[in-house]
Amino acid sequence: MRKSKKERQVLLQETIASTPFITDEELAEKFQVSIQTIRLDRLELSIPELRERIKHVAEKKLDDEVKSLPIDEVIGEIIDLQLDESAISILEINKEHVFSRNQIARGHHLFAQANSLAVAVINDELALTAKANIRFTRQVKETERVVAKARVEQTDSDKRRTTVEVNSYVGSELVFSGVFDMYRSNPTQR
């Protein structure tokens, strides 16, 4: 049963507030209306499009600065960062990321997103990948959005090593996982 415009707009606001990275296509499917209807609703409600919402959340949440590499060297867009704890980045898979023959993302882009996020989460001037154990669990296609989530698992301050687990998703489906053994120049006080 379809909702009235007013009911739909209230639910639209709630949905975007709880999941700011939801696309217009996903919203249209959820509310069983056209993408144009979603866009018009967003315009009426002064809700920005996805890219603007991502930038807004990133500016709001990036209180900590990436220390281990310049922010523009992170593959994907960091939207959340808690140094030595966790981080999240988003990578939109575009034409330049895929094989022209089949529009499947080249694996090195998914690896680079995860690896650069594992470096970025380290609260140190220097962080290098010493070892990585990775697994690709499904192909990623052009136009899909990959959300990588990094979590610091443990830090061995004597050996100057930190273990970071990164899981990457398209929607709720796991597409890549990796455990990164990171070398850091200064032992932490954790």
What integer pLDDT is reported at residue 78 of this predicted model? 87
Which stretches of the chain drop beneath a pLDDT of 70? 1, 55-64, 157-159, 186-190
What integer pLDDT is reported at residue 14 of this predicted model? 92
**3-state SS, residue 112:** helix
What integer pLDDT is reported at residue 150 of this predicted model? 96
Domain boundaries along the sequence of the chain: 5-47, 60-184
Give the tokens for residue 139.
């192909």
Q: 5-47 with 60-184: one CATH topology?
A: no
What integer pLDDT is reported at residue 155 of this predicted model? 76
User: What's the fold here for domain 5-47?
Assistant: Arc Repressor Mutant, subunit A (1.10.10)
What integer pLDDT is reported at residue 157 of this predicted model? 63
CA 151 – CA 87 distance, rounded (Å): 7
What integer pLDDT is reported at residue 17 of this predicted model? 84
CA 117 – CA 106 distance, rounded (Å): 18
What integer pLDDT is reported at residue 125 of this predicted model? 84
CA 159 – CA 96 distance, rounded (Å): 39
Q: Would you say the pTM of this structure is higher than 0.75?
A: no
What integer pLDDT is reported at residue 187 of this predicted model? 58
CA atoms within 13 A on the CB side of 76: 31
- CATH number, domain 60-184: 3.10.129.10
What are the tens digits of pLDDT across the range 19-58?
877 889 999 999 999 999 999 999 999 888 887 777 666 5
CA–CA distances in Å: residue 174 to residues 48, 135, 138, 159: 28, 10, 8, 31
What integer pLDDT is reported at residue 117 of this predicted model? 95
CB 183 within 8 A of CB 77: no
- Give 76-81's long-range contacts (Cβ < 8 A, gap of 24+): 76/113, 76/116, 76/117, 76/146, 76/148, 78/117, 78/120, 79/21, 79/54, 81/120, 81/121
What integer pLDDT is reported at residue 64 of this predicted model? 45
